[in-house]
A and B are shown apart, each in its own frame.
Chain A
Amino acid sequence: MAVEKLVMMNVVGKNEYVDSVIKDIILFENVQIVDAYSEIDNFRFTINVTERNIQEILGFSELESGMKAANSEEFQDRLSLVEEMFGNEFKVDKNYLKKDIELDSVVSSVYRIYAAVHQKYLILKLYYNDLKQIDTSLKAYRYLESADIDMDKINNLENFNYTIGSLSKDSVDRLKRNYGNITAIVVHVGSDTDNEVYLVISPKDLETETNRLLKSLNFSRVEGIKREYPGKPADIIKWLEEKRRYFQSKVDILEKEIEGIKNTVRDESNYAYNVFYLYGKIADVKKEMAFSKDNFYFSGWVPTKKRGQIASILSKYKDIIVIFTDNHDPNIKTPTKLRNNWLFKPFEYLIKMYGIPSYEELDPTPFLSITYMFLFGFMFGDLGQGAIIFIAGVLLMKLKGMEFGKIISRLGISSMFFGLVYGSFFGFETVIPALWLKPFTNINTILSDAVVIGVVFMFIAYAFGIINQFRAKNYYEGVLSKNGITGLTLYVCLLLVVLPLITGDRWVSLQILLGIIALAVVLLFMKEPIIRKLKNKKETVGEKHKSSTGHYIEGFFEIYEIFMGMISNTISFIRVGAFALNHVGLFLAFESMAHLVNSPVASTFIYILGNIFILVLEGLIVGIQVLRLQYYELFSKYFKGGGTEFKPAKL
């Protein structure tokens, strides 16, 4: 339940086994690859990279003979034919790849598969092509089907040409409106989706004019009329259909044969596909690595917990050196890997929606998860409706595979729990007893408790913020800023000033409190000059200083904003109580409507409608309100963000 600790893993090994090292790393699925060149450049590769070696660092290295064969054009052609034949039947699965891979034998297995099938497959493709041509011809001749004329005759006219083609509706219109000036006979013979198909007969002498005219009309010729087909169109169609049947039967036989071969080599091909898929990935990883004549250099982030595992996996290689470095260079951003248990995990989604926490920060997920569930339940406590939310969440997750469903189902459970606390079941307040109280009869308690809960959450948020500042080594900010210790002190004192107005006893005298408040205000006001002063002792940085008047005006408004913020953030939590009341109130409205109609059917209908209304509308509003409280009231106290997500290399 934290931001997982990561270490930098630097690996130096022999080039002869580089591919299998990368394979192990990819299948390990827990290493985020870092550009090894930059690691070497920055001297973080502490071992074995002496000056002499660095000078040898070369680009890519492909020493394995197997890989050379696999990269040849001839082989790639064969592989792609096999892949084409299987279409998208192949599946990537890392379980196929766990064993050692003998690249040479995979390559030869691809050759074998290719040899067994390629002739048949190429013939099949030729047949497909023939079928396609027959189909185009069929389509073309069908436009002429009703013409009772020998094609030979019109194919060999002395003075006339003919062509078939399609025109859009627009063009047809233009053609019609200018018939008088057209140099051809144009006959409508059919239609084709959006277009009309015409037979155009024109004198050979005017061929150029006619062609240009047709082009200007966007006339698209229909292919497939062949001069060598004699006879009447109807006969040609019959003959073509016969031919088509014959070809189709050939195709069927071939397809069956190929399917048979495919069945015998399916596993083998799939394995080969997986292997070369893996090698594609390996080539990608290599681009991030450095190579010298004999050695490769690899860098990547690994979760600290897994370092033992990966070290033992890699230990089987001879002369390999694996070094883990713990000290994080401030110039390199360490990625953030959140680790949470099953209960909190889904809420990471809400965090990522806001931003990725930086590596140094506390993982806000557990706090966010607990408070989110608590506040949602508090505002929307209902045993029955909660159950429906739970079921809806589970369904979303199972049917649509939405991660978000998991959050909803957890909110449902929280709502059910508070339903028991308030004794509320589908809005009815009398069905089950309340474990704590009925909100509507204890309005003041609910509202004031909501604020108390808010104050507690705020305290935790302050604590988180201070810890985060210290972890990021921003000590001055941690002490002096409005979200630091000074801010927290100010907030506590303000609470102690206001609290007695409600409870009646004053624990700390007003003078002392006002004194502390004054001091805190001065500190906040002077924060920047103080920090500058303290820092200047150690380092003199030529920062641009603001003019002093500017600083005081800005400072004044900042203090004002801090006070307003503290008050409004606290009061903001009243909404938590208000929504708890609202939930009951809304149902009361439907209940009185149900009483008014005086008909059992109608009132049942109103009850159901009311429940749906409350579930959808109020459920949504409450969900958003809680998110707002999180993002605005709480995150602003502690969340820094600016991290990058941990993305391990995978298949």
Chain B
Amino acid sequence: MPGNVKFSGINTKVSVLRSRLLSDEDYKALMELQGVKEVYNYLNDKTVYHDVLFMLIGQKIHRGDVEIALHKYNVLALEKIFPMLEDPYKTFIKRYMLKYEIEDLKLIIEKVTGKTNAVNISGNLISSPVVTKIDFQDLLNQDTLKKVFDKIKDTKYHRLLEPYMENVQDEKFNFYIEMVLDRYYYSQLLKASKKLSEKDSKDAIDLIRQNIDLFNLEWVYRATKYYDMSKEEILNFVLDNGLKLNYDKLKDLIYSTELSKFKDYFANTEYKFLFSHDYDIDLYMQRRIERFMYYKTLNLYKKSILDFGKILAYILFVEFEIKDLMSIIESKRYKLPSKEISKYLIRTIEVVD
């Protein structure tokens, strides 16, 4: 027990933080609201998202601004947590936060190669200055890819991006950048996870690895179905460290299984939910994965007693919640009724007609 005293404080804190997330009633109310402005007012007046939304008070509310602000809440939630942790957990959370740095880097590259038309890029940068060592504002001032690339000379990204720097015109440029950076992110995350104590964090890490499985499955499915790619390329882009599907299993899947056989292949596994539907496999795949992960996370949260699982679960809850809020905001644009909106949410909210 004494070994776990280190988690007692933060677990209490996490319980409090979690209780501040939205309730089912909040979701029902949000789904009923008329437009983006009303959703904004509700979140700003009544919920913890005030912390990031208050900055927009008095401005004309644009969907994009609200979404960016909510994204920033992800980062804020992590920033609140990581000072309470000690190494190696602290390092792990810092690695986890790398994803925001990577998102920012992608955005900068898109901007400098003219592949985005977003206007307020500076406001869209979300990485935490607590963690990142890159001066993104400085990168933003560079006008060519080469200059950006020179500025990140001393980071790991340099070597990763180098092979693609000459082929900006290549239509797959963005694809390569994205894939290479994402793979780097997961390898860093898993590397940091190996330092955590097995006892305190096995369930948490398994959850992440299960997420990797699902990413890989989605990737293999989509790449095989839609992309003009060789099997070798598809295999090269899978992420390592999946929980149930390691490299060899994925290789076997890619080289010897037809797309139509995927359903049978996974028939008796946990992942059958992905392919067992007769229709709309593609449309809902992402959401099904998220829903699966959401219930896994709920499970982790309940099961976890004074260990790292609770902390990771909370972080994921925030992410799911923000994704759901995005879906709600997005659906306001199409004026969808509550019942329709609930189909796009990760969590299940019963809507009575």
- Decide: A209 near B230, CB < 8 A? Known: A220-B163, A221-B163: yes
Q: Which stretch (A64-72, A176-184, A406-414, A626-634) binds chain B? A: A176-184
> Which residues of A sit under 8 angstroms from B232, Cβ to Cβ?
178, 181-182, 213, 216
Chain A proximity mask over B246-275: 1 for CB below 8 Å, otherwise 0: 011001000100000000000000000000
Which residues of A are found within 8 Å of B84, using beta-carbon distances? none
- Verify if B333 is at the interface (C-beta below 8 Å from A): no
B251 and A215 contact, CB distance less than 8 A: no
Q: Is the CB of A178 within 8 A of B235?
A: yes
Does residue B351 face the partner (Cβ distance < 8 Å to A)?
no
Point out the residues of chain B lying under 8 angstroms from A171, CB to CB: 236
Contact of B163 among A170, A178, A182, A219 (CB under 8 A): A219
Q: Does B176 contact A (CB under 8 A)?
A: yes
| Smallest CB separation, A205 vs chain B (Å) | 14
CA distance A209 to B163 in the complex (A): 16
Supposing A177-B247, A177-B251 touch, asked if A218 and B233 sit within 8 A by C-beta, the answer is no
Q: Which of A170, A209, A212, A216 has the most CB of B within 10 A?
A: A216
Q: Does B159 contact A (CB under 8 A)?
A: yes
A174 to chain B minimum Cβ distance, whole angstroms, is 6
Q: Give the number of chain B interface residues (Cβ < 8 Å).
A: 22
Nearest CB in chain B: distance from A209 CB, A = 6
Chain B positions within 8 Å of A218 at CB level: 160, 163, 180
B162 near A178: Cβ-Cβ < 8 Å: no
Bound Cα distance A217, B240 (Å): 13
Q: What are the interface flags for B222-246 relative to A under an 8 Å C-beta threshold, 1 for contact and 0 otherwise?
A: 0000000111110111001000000
- Interface size, A (range): 20 to 34
Assess the A213–B230 pair: CB atoms within 8 A.
yes
| CB-contact partner of A178 in B164, B179, B229, B251, under 8 A | B251
B327 at the interface (CB under 8 A from A): no
Q: Is A195 an interface residue (CB 8 A)?
A: yes
Q: Which residues of A contact B159 (CB under 8 A)?
A: 168, 194-195, 220
Are A216 and B236 also in contact (CB < 8 A) when A178-B251, A209-B230 are? yes
Contact B230 A212 (CB under 8 A): yes
B187 at the interface (CB under 8 A from A): yes
> With contacts A215-B164, A218-B180 known, is A170 near B231, CB below 8 A?
no
- Measured in the bound complex, the distance between the Cα atoms of B163 and A220 in whole Å is 5
Q: What's the Cα separation between A221 and B248 when bound, in Å?
A: 28
B231 touching A181, Cβ below 8 Å: yes
Contact of A170 with B247 in the complex, beta carbons under 8 Å: no
Asked whether A216 lies within 8 Å of B163 as measured between CB atoms, the reply is no
Contacts of A212 in B (CB 8 A): 229-230, 233
| B237 lies within 8 A of A216 (CB) | yes
- Supposing A177-B251, A195-B159, A220-B159 touch, asked if A213 and B187 sit within 8 A by C-beta, the answer is no
Q: Which residues of A contact B179 (CB under 8 A)?
A: 216
Contact of A213 among B176, B236, B248 (CB under 8 A): B236
Give the residues in chain B near A174, CB-CB below 8 Å: 235-236, 247
How far, in Å, is B189 (CB) from chain A's closest CB? Answer: 14
What residues of chain B lie closer than 8 Å to A217, measured between beta carbons?
Answer: 236
Identify which of A195, A217, A221 gathers the most chain B CB atoms within 10 Å of its CB: A217
Per the bound structure, the CA–CA distance linking A213 and B163 in Å amounts to 12
Question: Do B233 and A213 touch (CB < 8 A)?
Answer: yes
CB of A75 to closest CB in B, whole Å: 23
Residues of chain A contacted by B251 (CB below 8 angstroms): 177-178
Contact of A170 with B162 in the complex, beta carbons under 8 Å: no
Beyond A177-B251, A220-B162, A220-B163, is A215–B176 a contact (Cβ under 8 Å)? yes
Contact A216 B233 (CB under 8 A): yes
A residues near B160, Cβ cutoff 8 Å: 218
A267 and B61 CA atoms in complex are apart in Å by 59
Return chain B residues, CB-CB under 8 Å to A209.
230
Report the minimal beta-carbon distance from B134 to chain A, rounded to whole angstroms. Answer: 20
Binary contact readout A25-46 vs B (1 if CB under 8 angstroms, 0 otherwise):
0000000000000000000000
Residue of B nearest to A214 (CB): B163
Contacts of B164 in A (CB 8 A): 215
A213: chain B residues within 8 A (beta carbon): 230, 232-233, 236
8 Å CB contacts to B: which residues of A188-216?
A: 194-195, 209, 212-216
Q: Could you tell me which residues of chain A, from 277 to 318, have a CB within 8 Å of some CB in chain B?
A: none
B145-165 CB contacts (< 8 Å) to partner A: 159-160, 162-164
Given A213-B230, A219-B163, residue A170 in contact with residue B240 (CB < 8 A): yes
Residue contact A215 to B163, C-beta cutoff 8 Å:
yes
Within 8 A of A (CB), among B174-202: 176, 179-180, 187
A165 to B162, CA, bound (A): 11
* A194 CA to B158 CA, complexed, in Å: 13
Q: How far is the CA of A78 from the CA of B168 in the complex (A)?
A: 34
Residue of A nearest to B228 (CB): A212
Give complex CA distance A177, B251 in Å: 10
Residues of B within 8 A of A165 (CB): 163
| CB neighbours of B230 from chain A (8 A) | 209, 212-213
Whole-angstrom distance between the Cβ of B192 and the nearest chain A Cβ: 16
Residues of B within 8 A of A195 (CB): 159
Chain B residues closer than 8 Å to A216, beta-carbon distance: 176, 179, 232-233, 236-237
Nearest neighbor of A166 in chain B, beta-carbon distance: B159
State in angstroms the CA–CA spacing of A212 and B236 once bound together: 11
CA distance A98 to B309 in the complex (A): 67
- Chain B nearest Cβ from A218, distance in angstroms: 6
B229, B233, B237 interface centre (most CB from chain A within 10 Å): B233
Q: How far is the CA of A178 from the CA of B233 in the complex (A)?
A: 11
Q: How far is the CB of B119 from chain A (nearest CB, A)?
A: 27
Q: Which residue of A lies closest to B160 (CB)?
A: A218
Known: A213-B230, A216-B232. A170 touches B180 (CB 8 A): no
Within 8 A of A (CB), among B269-316: none
Scan A563-604; emit 1 where CB is below 8 A from any B CB, else 0: 000000000000000000000000000000000000000000
- Which residues of A have CB within 8 Å of B240? 170
For residue A214, which residues in chain B have a CB less than 8 angstroms away from its CB? 163
13 of the cross-chain contacts (CB-CB < 8 Å) are A174-B235, A182-B232, A212-B233, A213-B236, A215-B163, A215-B164, A215-B176, A216-B179, A216-B232, A216-B237, A218-B180, A220-B162, A220-B163
Known contacts A174-B235, A213-B232, A216-B176; 17 additional CB pairs below 8 A are A170-B240, A171-B236, A178-B235, A181-B231, A181-B232, A182-B232, A194-B159, A195-B159, A212-B230, A212-B233, A213-B230, A216-B232, A216-B237, A217-B236, A218-B163, A219-B163, A220-B163
The 5 closest A-B pairs by CB, nearest first: A216-B236, A216-B233, A220-B163, A220-B162, A181-B232
